[in-house]
Structure 1
Amino acid sequence: MTDFVLVAGAWLGAWAWDEVVPGLEKAGHGVHALTLSGLAEKKDVRAGQQTHVQDIVDHVERHDLRDVVLVGHSYSGIPVGQAAERIGGRLRHVVFVDSNVPRDGESFLAGFSSEHVRQGLDAHGGVWPPLPPAAYAGQGLTDEQIDRIVTEGTPHPGATLTEPAVLERPLGELPATYVKCVLDGREPLPAVAELLTGGNWKLVEMDTGHWPMFSRPRELARVLDEAAAGS
Structure 2
Amino acid sequence: MGGYTVAFLTTFKQGEYFMTVSSITRRRMIGGLAAGVGASSVISSDAFIGSARAQSAQKTFVLVPGAFYGAWSWRRVSDRLVKQGHRVYPLTLTGLAERSHLLSKDINLDTHIADIANIVEWEDLTDICLVAHSYAGYPASGALERIGNRVSSIVWVDALKPADGQSFRDQVPFQMEEGAISRPAPKALPPTAFNDPKDVAWVLSKVTPQPIGTWLQPVKLSGAREKVAKKTYIRLPKFQLAALDKAFADCKADKSWTAIENTTSGHSVMIAEPDWLTDLLLQAA
Same fold flag (TM > 0.5): yes
Look up the match of 2:7. none
Is 1:193 aligned to residue 249 of structure 2? yes
Look up the match of 2:143. 83
For structure 1, the 5+ residue unaligned runs are: none
Identity of aligned residues (%): 33
Work out whether residues 64 and 132 of structure 2, in 8 Å CA contact, stay in contact via their aligned partners in 1. yes
Is 1:205 aligned to residue 261 of structure 2? yes
Is 1:33 aligned to residue 90 of structure 2? yes
Cα deviation 1:29-51 (Å, max 9, x = unaligned): 21001000010111132421111
Alignment match of 1:48 (pick from 108, 112, 117): 108
CA RMSD, aligned part only?
Answer: 2.0
Look up the match of 1:61. 121
Work out whether residues 212 and 220 of structure 1, in 8 Å CA contact, stay in contact via their aligned partners in 2. yes
Work out whether residues 176 and 202 of structure 1, in 8 Å CA contact, stay in contact via their aligned partners in 2. yes
Look up the match of 1:126. 181
Q: TM-score, normalised by structure 2?
A: 0.73
Look up the match of 2:207. 153
Does 1 or 2 have the higher relative contact order (CA < 8 Å, sep 6+)? 2
* CA–CA distance in structure 2, aligned partners of residues 168 and 186 of structure 1: 25
User: What displacement does 1:170 show?
Assistant: 6.2
Work out whether residues 248 and 259 of structure 2, in 8 Å CA contact, stay in contact via their aligned partners in 1. no
User: What displacement does 1:153 show?
Assistant: 0.8
Count, aligned residues: 222
Task: Classify the secondary structure of the residue corresponding to 1:132.
Answer: coil
Alignment match of 1:15 (pick from 72, 95, 100): 72
Cα deviation 1:17-71 (Å, max 9, x = unaligned): 1111122123332100100001011113242111100100000000001110111
* CA–CA distance in structure 1, aligned partners of residues 178 and 199 of structure 2: 27
* CA–CA distance in structure 1, aligned partners of residues 140 and 133 of structure 2: 9
Alignment match of 2:219 (pick from 165, 184, 193): 165
Work out whether residues 173 and 200 of structure 1, in 8 Å CA contact, stay in contact via their aligned partners in 2. no
Work out whether residues 141 and 214 of structure 1, in 8 Å CA contact, stay in contact via their aligned partners in 2. no
Work out whether residues 97 and 208 of structure 2, in 8 Å CA contact, stay in contact via their aligned partners in 1. yes
Work out whether residues 23 and 222 of structure 1, in 8 Å CA contact, stay in contact via their aligned partners in 2. no
User: What displacement does 1:6 show?
Assistant: 0.5
* CA–CA distance in structure 1, aligned partners of residues 76 and 179 of structure 2: 31
Look up the match of 1:137. 191
Look up the match of 2:33. none
Work out whether residues 236 and 265 of structure 2, in 8 Å CA contact, stay in contact via their aligned partners in 1. yes
* CA–CA distance in structure 2, aligned partners of residues 41 and 160 of structure 1: 18
Task: Classify the secondary structure of the residue corresponding to 1:140.
Answer: coil
Task: Classify the secondary structure of the residue corresponding to 1:72.
Answer: strand
Q: Which one has a larger percent helix, Structure 1 or Structure 2?
A: 1
User: What displacement does 1:124 show?
Assistant: 8.3
**Which is further off, 204-213 or 31-40?**
204-213
User: What displacement does 1:156 show?
Assistant: 0.3
AA in 1 matched with 2:246: P
User: What displacement does 1:122 show?
Assistant: 1.1
Look up the match of 2:29. none
* CA–CA distance in structure 2, aligned partners of residues 2 and 13 of structure 1: 22
* CA–CA distance in structure 2, aligned partners of residues 203 and 88 of structure 1: 21
For structure 2, the 5+ residue unaligned runs are: 1-57
